[in-house]
Amino acid sequence: MVDKTCPKCQGTGWVLEEKGSRSVAKRCECFIKNRKNVILEQANLPKRYKNCSFNNFEIHNDSLRSALKISKKFVKNYPVQDIGLLFQGPCGVGKTHLAVAILNELIEKKSISCYFCDFRELIRNIQNSYSSDSAMSETDVIAPIFKKNVLVLDELGAKRTSPWVEETVFYIINHRYNNKKLTIFTSNYIDSGEEEEDKRSSYFKKKDFNQLADDSLVDRIGIRLRSRVYEMCKIVNMGGDDYRKKVKQAGYRF
């Protein structure tokens, strides 16, 4: 966190400032400068997505335009708003890209502590932490998930849950909610109720549905967890072509 060679603080991160007859301890400039980098290092952003930003998010349809606008507003209003986001839509439309872009912006502009976690990884880590030979305790695994101010939980529902896992994940996100910590979810799973289908129809073309998995979100994470997520988040529907297939493939030349 500090520059060990800093002549101002000799690596302590603190400097004394005279205030009248008293001296008060203040954070050294080197500490402040390094803080952002530390937050970024601790954010666990996946390498592939490290450079995702609002600037390099392309708009190919209205749903993407609206998703970008909501994401920018989220950063602008933070920490005033008390609701998270749920990016829903088929594979490759940029859900993870936008979620990471929000974290990058929050760190850069507001020095907010953030954390990225894949849903499957979270479950795997929780399960591993229970085995006696695990190097990580349950607390090590859970601490950043509880403590960081903004969490991205990517690919909600990507692993089918058991009642035990549902309970644990419920506990985690509920704990965050009660402590006014925001969570941004992404999911390929959406709900198949008629009401939801009507709402979605303006966003998704018929072929988008074919790309979606057969299960609905409620099949994957259970009704209790799903309704908590809905309560905690603004739902942001994203539709369109798979960017990886269409745009990236077109750019590969051999």
Ligand X SMILES: Nc1ncnc2c1ncn2[C@@H]1O[C@H](COP(=O)(O)OP(=O)(O)O)[C@@H](O)[C@H]1O
Q: Report the nearest approach of Zn ion to the CB of residue 4 (Å).
A: 9
Quick note: the x/- pattern for Mg ion over 76-95, rule CB under 5 A, is -------------------x
Could you say whether residue 161 binds Mg ion (CB under 5 A)? no
Helix count and strand count (H, E) for the chain: 12, 7
187 binds Mg ion per the rule CB under 5 A = no
Alpha helices in the chain (DSSP H): 29-42, 62-77, 95-110, 119-129, 138-147, 163-178, 194-201, 206-211, 217-221, 223-232, 243, 249-251
Q: Applying CB under 5 A, which of residues 96, 113, 149, 161 lies at the interface with Mg ion?
A: 96
How many residues of this chain bind Zn ion (CB under 5 A)? 5
Q: What are phi and psi of 253, to 5 degrees?
A: -120, 135
In this complex, which beta carbon is closest to Mg ion, that of residue 138 or of residue 215?
A: 215
Closest distance of CB 159 from Mg ion, Å? 14
Cα 59 to Cα 145: distance, rounded to the nearest angstrom: 31
Nearest approach in angstroms of CB 95 to ligand X is: 3
Distance CA(236)–CA(186), nearest Å, equals 9
The reply to whether 9 sits near Zn ion by the rule CB under 5 A is yes
Assess 5 for contact with Zn ion (CB under 5 A).
no
Query: What are the backbone dihedrals phi and psi of residue 145, each rounded to the nearest 5 degrees, phi first?
Result: -65, -35
Query: SS3 of 100, please?
Result: helix
Binding of Zn ion at residue 8 (CB under 5 A)?
Answer: yes
Does 149 sit near Mg ion (CB under 5 A)?
A: no
Tell which residue, 163, 203, 183, has the closest CA to residue 212. Answer: 203
| Among Zn ion, ligand X, Mg ion, none, partner that 244 touches (CB below 5 to 8 angstroms by kind) | ligand X
Residues near Zn ion (CB under 5 A) are 6, 8-9, 28, 30
